[in-house]
Amino acid sequence: MRQKERRQIRNKIKESENLSEKEAAQLLKQYLSFEEEEEELDKAFIENITEVISAKKTLLLLRSEEEFKRQLIKQYRQKRGGGGFR
């Protein structure tokens, strides 16, 4: 459900030139709400995971996740035949 809402917000942002000022303000408020919620989830995850593994291992996990994301994006771009921004 939340992903569907996020997708709708992203699509509206892409077409923001067609929005009134009031609609844009409401959309911005929704976007910030989702960002804050995501930040809270990240914070809760980190607090919970440090109860199970050490802080040092938690940092290694976060770093590994970022490196994994970068690798996926790199592979995706290579398969598309790109590599740069479009």
Task: Indicate the pTM of the whole model.
Answer: 0.65
pLDDT given at position 82: 63
Provide the pLDDT for residue 29: 93
Q: Are 7 and 48 in the same domain?
A: yes
DSSP letter string over 28-69? HHHHHHHHHHHHHHHHHHHHHHTTTS-HHHHHHHHHHHHHHH
Question: Does 70 lie in the same domain as 48?
Answer: no
Domain containing residue 73? 54-86
- 12 and 48 housed in the same domain: yes
Q: What is the mean pLDDT of each run of 10 residues along the chain (86 residues)?
A: 79 84 90 92 95 96 96 94 59
pLDDT of residue 85: 55
Residue type at 67 in one-letter notation:
E
For residue 17, what is the enclosing H or E element? none
Same domain, residue pair 8 and 43 = yes
Q: For the chain, how many structural domains are there in total?
A: 2
Token couple for 2 = 């939340």
